[in-house]
Structure 1
Amino acid sequence: MKFGAVGLLNTGADLLVFTMLTAAGSNVVTAQIIAYACGMLNSYLLNRSWTFRSNASRSREMPRFILLNLVVLACVTWLLELLHSGAGMSLLTSKLAATGAGMLVNYAGSRFWVFGTRGYSSETRSDAP
């Protein structure tokens, strides 16, 4: 649930920046990269401190987080372009579909690789509220 709440905030920031940039005439791919970066910063801060309550060193997590998000960004950008330009879907529908797919990959990577919850969820940890 926490990851979903953070994801909604990230998606809101992403969509807002993306919409503003494309409305101002920015290229779709450029707008996607900038908007994704805005959501990514929020994602790291909230997921590290609240969702997964990680106490691992940032020097271990940050490279993994960046790598995961670069992979997700590449996949989401490719899917956005494929759906919008290739399949002729509306820009908003393409953006939402690509973002949803990216969220699934991002959750799995964050949960099991970046923040490494070591086999138990944040809801069952003894230090969870």
Structure 2
Amino acid sequence: MTNHLGHQIARFFATGAANTIVGLIAIYALMAVGVHYAISNAIGYAIGLSISFFLNRSWTFGINGKIGIEAFHFLILAAVAYAINLSVVALAVEGLGASAYLAQLFGVVSYSVVSFLGMKYLVFVKRGR
């Protein structure tokens, strides 16, 4: 692993930790007041999405200037990663009988892996700047 890749991974996880903490607080708070786990999950991820975009764009992957096409690509990636996340959460809750609280953590892992790979290789790549 190159030093540059190591820094990107470390920054991605630092950004992800902040993003995840904010998202999970929202998810768990909503579930605690009776909101269905799927709706809680969607709201929690929506809250963290803008944090993720701007921090990963500038700090993790070093993209500056006009937002351009990466915002569109980021939203597509987020939708795909979210669909995978929600599928994992639903499978754990509905299929395996896991606690919805524990299942959210499984969803976070799947979302993180898909997100990093997508951001690095599809979204935040320097395109003829």
Q: TM-score, normalised by structure 1?
A: 0.86
The 1:44/1:89 distance shift into structure 2, 3 A limit, reads: same
Offset of 1:85 from its aligned partner? 1.6
Match of 1:36 in 2: 45
Q: Which runs of 5+ in 2 are unaligned?
A: 1-9
- After TM superposition, the runs of 4+ consecutive aligned structure 1 residues lying more than 2 A away are none
Preserved CA contact (<8 Å) 1:61 1:115: yes
**In the alignment, residue 100 of structure 1 is paired with which amino acid?**
V
1:95 aligned partner: 104
Query: 1:56 Cα deviation (Å)?
Result: 5.6
Aligned to 1:70: 79
Partner residue of 1:18?
27
TM-score (norm: length of structure 2): 0.86
**Secondary structure of the structure 2 residue equivalent to 1:58:** coil
Tell me the CA shift for residue 102 of structure 1: 1.0
Aligned residues: 118
- Report the residue type matching 2:23 in the other structure: D
2:66 is aligned with 1:61: no
Alpha-carbon shift at residue 32 of structure 1 (Å):
0.6
Kindly provide the CA deviation profile for residues 10-63 of structure 1, in whole angstroms up to 9, marking residues without a partner as x. 110110000011011101111111101111111001111211110263121100
SS of alignment partner, residue 33 of structure 1:
helix
Higher relative helix content = 2
Pairing partner for 1:51 from 57, 60, 64: 60
The percentage of aligned residue pairs carrying the same residue is: 31
SS in 1 for 2:35: coil
What is the one-letter code of the residue matched to 1:84?
V
Give the letter aligned to residue 25 of structure 2: L
Which among 85, 88, 95 is matched to residue 79 of structure 1? Answer: 88
SS of residue paired to 1:68: helix
Measure the CA separation in 2 of the matches of 1:85 and 1:77: 11
Equivalents in 2 of 1:59, 1:45: separation in Å? Answer: 13
Counterpart secondary structure, 2:63? coil
Give the gaps of 5 or more residues in structure 1. Answer: 119-129
The amino acid of 1:63's aligned partner reads F
